Structure 1
Amino acid sequence: MFKIKLWTLKVKTEAFVNSTTFKEKLGFVKSSAISITLGLLVGILFIFCNGENGFGFLWTALSRALTTNISRTLVYFGVYTLIGLGLALGFQLKIFNMGGSGQILSGLLMSFVIMNSIGNETKNAPLIFFVFIISGMLISVACGAMKVYLNVHEVASSILLNWTFWYLLKWYMTVTGTPTASPVLNEHMAMMGNSLWSLCVLLALLAVIVTYIIATFTTTGYKIRIVGKSSTAATYAGIKSQYYILIVMALQGLFISMAGYFYYFLIQGSITFNKDLVPQLGFDGIPIALVAFNNILGVVPVALFWALVKEGASVAITTPQYNSLQPEIADLIFGIIIYCSTLYVLFVKFHLIEKIKQMIYLEKDVLKKNKIKEYKMEIKTQKALLKDVASLNELSSIKEEILATPKEDKQKIKDLSDQYREVKIFHERKYQKVIADLKQNIVDTINNGYKEFEQKTIKGLSINFSNHKAGKVFSALDQVIEKISDYDKENKAVVKQECEILITEAEIQVKELKAQYLESKKEAKEFLKELNANYKINLKNSDEEQKINIKKEYFEKIMEVKDKYDRLH
């Protein structure tokens, strides 16, 4: 039965990979990858402008981050995973918690208070860790409470709390005799044995797994998603939106505070007060969550990349070949990548590859191209009419009547002015509606034409093969699932044999379909090769008027490919 269940899993996986949902999510991944790559290229270009080898700098940064500084890189990975996870949860509910730095500072403040009382020995680590994260959670929940009960926006309250705890911590350090910098923290309080990164990464990954399970497979997670999509609809459905907002903000405080604990105990070591600058750690998670599209699992790879760049760039700047660069260049490159990565929305909305394919298609489809030109000319005409709407006879006559009316007759002037305004708005909206319809006609013409082009050309062979294959496989899958879902142990051997026969038959049918498809594709390619060669020759030896007819004839022939060579009717 194991092989049968493995086959059903394989079929379901293939179906999911080919589904619209998966392709949509894959589009998000592509958009994130493109935006990050763009950021890297801009950063590399900036280094070249400074007279250094940008690609060499990037290679040095990544190699150092993955070798000599792997421990610190992994700590950064755990820290960024926790911060990104916390902010991604909030963004799913449209909660913009900008108080990560304040929550971390509150944890630091309470930790120093406790350590000044009982010491910073490793044995006190559990207590300090507990106090640190509870402090951050309370501050985050306080912001949530102000949002829920006092209608105070979380952005305003959280940013103000950032500065409040910055000055509280600064005041406390001054009172305790260390006004410029805090005492050095004991890194062993955040370590597991002698490993610098193990505890941090373990808790980060555990947090991701637990959060994903709760968010995906539990009623609580479902209710949180409903509240995020529409708090009003959630309220009408009997879901206590306020309760779930407070829960999510508590979780944000938990994850961000955990990140802050590991960051200051394992990486930073202390905090300085020479300048009044709130630590940026709480804001570093924003681009991580955004680039991951607030996806809980997506946060992990993005956090890993952020960790590699952050640690690698700061180390590469200290190497002999790049010591001519300013120390701030590492943070600048990191900032450039963060900024460019936030442009992911452009890549999601603007499907560049799809647009290019459509442009190539339009160059072939002369009729559709001419139709679109007609629409564009009509749009220009309508825009001109919209611009000159005041010159319409109806409006001109009203205007003349206004001018002819004595100034003393204010009521008539007012009535005529209102009439003029209403008529003008009517005609403006009429032209605007026509323009909008024409623009939509252009979009529909391109989309429908391109869809038909895909279905009738050589790609249509592939689409048809996929449809026939799915029909054979899913027919067998339904029968197999029906047989294995409910059977007696005594009949196990019989059911197994029947399922194996169904699977074997389906696989044979698919192989036959594939052979026919490949043969059709081969013949179609040969036809197109000859057609393209003749097309180029005819196009070269013809005048402009003949070229149009040649293009039309060429397009008609490539649109016949699928029907002409498809063997899977």
Structure 2
Amino acid sequence: MIVLELGLSLAVGFVVSIVILIAFGYDPLRCITIMFSYGFRDVYYLLSRATPLIATGIAFAIPLLAGLFNIGSEGQLYIGALTTIVVAHYLGNGILALIAGICAGAAVAGLIAILKVYRDINEVVSSIMFNWTLFYLILFLITNYLYDPTIPHQSVSVPKSVQLGIITIGNIRITIAFIIAVLGAIIAYLIVYRSGIGYAIRVTGYSDKTALYAGIDPRKTKILALVLGGAFAGFGGALQALGIVPYIDTTMSTLFGLGFTGIGVALLGRSNPIGIVFAALFVSGLFIGGQMMELKTNVPPELADVIIGIVIIALALPYAYRTIVYWIKTRAKVRRL
């Protein structure tokens, strides 16, 4: 059933994409062929692009299972990356830097959770505010205090001795950061589906009354779900800094959008951490293929982004629709009790 749904969704996405490409005067068959033939060709680049998306996808998925929308994974990723870079640069300890990045992301999410649970401030609103606050705070810190004296437009870097390396299997290069991200996804799966914490999160997602009936404190569970989400967003930022790009520039080009893209990845992966790994690989392939489509067919970057967005939305929409309808029906039933 899921395979049929994905197949039909992908077909719809392709049909809409073809219509748009024809409308703008481009050869749709050539464009889509280039996107998929080049998007998954360079394994190392594909895995590198997917690494932070695995983490930000999980960062959105875990709170979603508790009925919360962690739009703040973008800012949590930023602060996780910066904290990791600072700790790695000044202390020279990669493990400590990774832990620091995770804790930084969790701390920001914890503030959002407290505002939600104890002050009833919508987490979407507070998350967006935190995203932009952290965006400009990090730019301020890089520009004034944490810049590299030899390259003023970027931050200090993670020392090479601390950076995660690359392993080679035959002719295939794999960044160690990707392997760690997959291990993180496995841990997330065990937490969500094989632990009491995950059970509490999923029950709370049905409704607060359901959680209370099961002997679960929904307030504490929501805080925990958001903190776990923030921890994984910070984890993504840490892996990006330690294993992909060891600095942040003043345009935030290496980080911007990774948190928001994780939302689509989470929906594609049906909020399952293992599914999110494959969704991150697929989305990364689309981005890489979109870049090659721009180079080889002169398609404008904006149009390439539209095509990628249509495919992702087409694949994610059925799950998003079912989730929203299920929550509405469940809460309506609970109110009648």
- For Structure 1 versus Structure 2, the TM-score category normalised by the shorter chain is 0.7 to 0.9
- Cα pair distance change 1:333/1:262, threshold 3 Å: farther
* Sequence identity (%): 26
- Does 1:162 pair with 2:131? yes
Larger Rg: 1
Contact 1:292 1:302 in 2 (8 A): yes
Q: 1:77 offset after TM fit, Å? A: 2.6
- Cα pair distance change 1:32/1:51, threshold 3 Å: same
Contact 1:93 1:227 in 2 (8 A): yes
- Cα pair distance change 1:246/1:125, threshold 3 Å: same
Q: Which of the numbers 302, 305, 308 marks the counterpart of 1:331?
A: 305
Q: 1:75 offset after TM fit, Å? A: 2.0
- Does 1:30 pair with 2:4? yes
Instruction: Identify which of structures 1 and 2 has the higher relative contact order when contacts are C-alpha pairs closer than 8 Å and 6+ apart.
Output: 2
Instruction: Show structure 2 runs of 5+ residues with no match.
Output: 324-337
- Cα pair distance change 1:185/1:280, threshold 3 Å: same
Q: Which amino acid aligns with 1:77?
A: A
1:373 — aligned with what? none
Q: 1:58 offset after TM fit, Å? A: 2.5
Q: Deviations over 1:45-100 (max 9, x none)?
A: 43344443322232223232332x21111122332222222211111111101111
Query: In structure 1, how many angstroms separate the alpha carbons of the residues matched to 2:3 and 2:119?
Result: 38
1:521 — aligned with what? none
1:53 — aligned with what? 27
Q: Which of the numbers 282, 290, 296 marks the counterpart of 2:259?
A: 282
1:131 — aligned with what? 100
Scaled by the length of structure 2, the TM-score of the pair is 0.80
1:226 — aligned with what? 203
- Cα pair distance change 1:107/1:205, threshold 3 Å: closer
1:84 — aligned with what? 57
Contact 2:177 2:243 in 1 (8 A): no
Query: In structure 1, how many angstroms separate the alpha carbons of the residues matched to 2:23 and 2:160?
Result: 39
- Cα pair distance change 1:332/1:269, threshold 3 Å: farther
- Does 1:253 pair with 2:230? yes
Q: Deviations over 1:521-565 (max 9, x none)?
A: xxxxxxxxxxxxxxxxxxxxxxxxxxxxxxxxxxxxxxxxxxxxx
After superposition, residues 155-554 of structure 1 pair within 5 angstroms as: 155-176=124-145, 180-183=153-156, 189-194=162-167, 197-264=174-241, 266-267=243-244, 270-273=247-250, 279-318=256-295, 321-322=296-297, 324-344=298-318
Contact 2:142 2:250 in 1 (8 A): no
Q: Deviations over 1:115-134 (max 9, x none)?
A: 5534xxxx532232222221
Scaled by the length of structure 1, the TM-score of the pair is 0.50
Q: Which amino acid aligns with 2:64?
A: F
- Cα pair distance change 1:127/1:174, threshold 3 Å: same
After superposition, residues 134-153 of structure 1 pair within 5 angstroms as: 134-153=103-122
Q: Which amino acid aligns with 2:231?
A: L
Q: Which of the numbers 41, 45, 48 marks the counterpart of 2:15?
A: 41
Other structure's SS at 1:343 match: helix
Return 235-244 or 179-188, whichever deviates more.
Answer: 179-188
Contact 1:31 1:347 in 2 (8 A): no
* Matched positions, count: 314
- Cα pair distance change 1:304/1:234, threshold 3 Å: same
2:333 — aligned with what? none
Other structure's SS at 1:96 match: coil
Extract structure 1 runs of 4+ deviating beyond 6 A: 346-349
Q: 1:180 offset after TM fit, Å? A: 4.5
Q: Which of the numbers 94, 101, 104 marks the counterpart of 2:74?
A: 101
Q: Which amino acid aligns with 1:279?
A: F
Q: 1:337 offset after TM fit, Å? A: 2.3
Q: Deviations over 1:258-301 (max 9, x none)?
A: 2223335555554444599x922111111222233323433233
Contact 2:156 2:247 in 1 (8 A): yes
Other structure's SS at 1:94 match: coil
- Cα pair distance change 1:71/1:60, threshold 3 Å: same
Other structure's SS at 1:317 match: helix
Instruction: Show structure 1 runs of 5+ residues with no match.
Output: 1-25, 350-569
Contact 1:140 1:250 in 2 (8 A): yes
